[in-house]
C-alpha cells in the first residue's frame, strides 16, 4: 500500500538476537542514536489520528527509552505509561524534563520498579516488557510504537505482538513506525519489518492502514552500507 520495496526474505536478520545487556550497554555508553531530542515529526503530524477526537487517554510507550513525547502527551492531559529495561534511560527522562518522581516497587514483577511522576500522569516501568500484563498496567486507548517493534528480536515478534494485543482497549489506536531498507546489508537493530509481516502479525485483530513513508536516509545509514532507509508509519485500529 505504501509502495515500500518488499523483501520476501529478511536476510540473516531472522536469527539475530540482541541481549538485554547489549541494550543496557548502549545507554551506558551513550550510544543512543535512536533517541530523538526534538520528538518525532510523524507523531506530531499524525497525533490527531492517534487521539481520534478523544481526550484524557491512557497511552502506552513500549520500550520507551527517554522519549520526549511522553512529557508532551502528559502535558496535554493524557496519562502515559512506558516500559524500558534501562533504569538510566528513565532517570534521564525525568532529569531532562525537571520532573519530580518517586520510585515504587512492582510487587507482581521480581526486581522491577516503577518511576512515577509526582503529578501521577507518567508511570514508567523498569523491567522487561514481557513481564507486563493488563492485570499490572491495565489497558490502553493508544500506543505510540516508534522504536519498539523494530528493536524486538525477530524471533520474539509474535510474542511481542500477542502481548500488545492483550494491552489494547477495544477502540484503541496504535501508531506504528517501522523501517525499510535492504536487510542483507545491515544486521539491525533497527530491524526491517516488511508490510507483509505487519499484516500477518496484526491482521486478524486490527485494521491496518499505511499513513506515510518518510525518507530518513542519513550519513549514519550510509556508514551502515545502506543506500536507502525509510520510516513507514501505520495506524492499526483494534477491532476484535
- 204: cell is 486478524
Phi, psi of 233 (to 5 degrees): -105, 130
Neighbours of 210 (CB within 10 A): 17
**Per-residue pLDDT reduced to its tens digit, 164-212:** 999 999 999 999 999 999 999 999 999 999 999 999 999 999 999 999 9
Host domain of residue 129: 16-29+37-237
Binned average pLDDT, 10 residues per bin, the chain of 240 residues? 52 88 96 92 97 97 98 98 98 98 98 98 98 98 98 96 97 97 94 96 96 96 97 92
Instruction: Supply the pTM of this predicted model.
Output: 0.95
Does any domain span residue 66? yes
Does any domain span residue 10? no
Helix (H, G, I), strand (E, B) or coil at 137: helix
Return binding residues. 23-34, 63, 84, 128-129, 146
Q: Which pLDDT score, from 0 to 100, does residue 26 have? A: 96
**Per-residue pLDDT reduced to its tens digit, 107-129:** 999 999 999 999 999 999 999 99
Return binding residues for S-adenosyl-L-methionine. 23-34, 63, 84, 128-129, 146
Does any domain span residue 1? no
Domain count, the chain: 1
Domain of 50, CATH number, reads: 3.40.50.150
Amino acid at each position: 500500500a505504501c509502495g515500500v520495496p518488499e523483501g520476501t526474505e529478511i536476510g540473516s536478520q531472522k536469527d539475530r538476537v540482541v541481549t538485554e545487556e547489549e541494550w543496557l550497554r548502549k545507554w551506558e555508553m551513550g550510544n543512543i542514536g535512536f533517541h530523538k531530542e526534538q520528538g518525532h515529526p510523524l507523531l506530531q503530524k499524525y497525533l490527531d489520528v492517534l487521539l481520534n477526537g478523544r481526550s484524557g487517554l491512557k497511552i502506552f510507550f513500549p520500550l520507551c527509552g527517554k522519549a520526549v513525547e511522553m512529557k508532551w502527551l502528559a502535558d496535554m492531559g493524557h496519562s502515559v505509561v512506558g516500559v524500558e529495561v534501562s533504569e538510566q534511560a528513565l532517570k534521564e527522562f525525568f532529569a531532562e524534563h525537571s520532573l519530580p518522581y518517586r520510585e515504587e516497587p512492582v510487587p507482581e514483577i521480581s526486581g522491577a520498579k516503577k518511576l512515577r511522576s509526582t503529578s501521577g500522569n507518567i508511570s514508567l516501568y523498569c523491567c522487561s516488557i514481557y513481564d507486563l500484563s493488563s492485570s499490572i498496567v491495565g489497558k490502553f486507548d493508544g500506543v505510540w510504537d516508534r522504536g519498539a517493534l523494530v528493536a524486538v528480536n525477530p524471533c520474539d515478534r509474535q510474542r511481542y505482538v500477542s502481548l500488545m494485543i492483550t494491552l489494547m482497549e477495544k477502540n484503541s489506536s496504535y501508531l506504528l513506525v517501522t523501517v525499510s531498507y535492504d536487510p542483507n546489508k545491515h544486521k539491525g537493530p533497527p530491524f526491517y519489518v516488511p508490510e507483509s509481516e505487519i499484516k500477518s502479525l496484526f491482521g486478524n485483530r486490527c485494521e491496518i492502514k499505511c499513513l506515510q513513508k518518510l525518507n530518513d536516509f542519513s550519513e549514519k545509514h550510509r556508514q551502515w552500507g545502506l543506500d536507502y532507509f525509510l520510516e513507514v508509519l501505520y495506524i492499526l485500529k483494534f477491532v476484535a
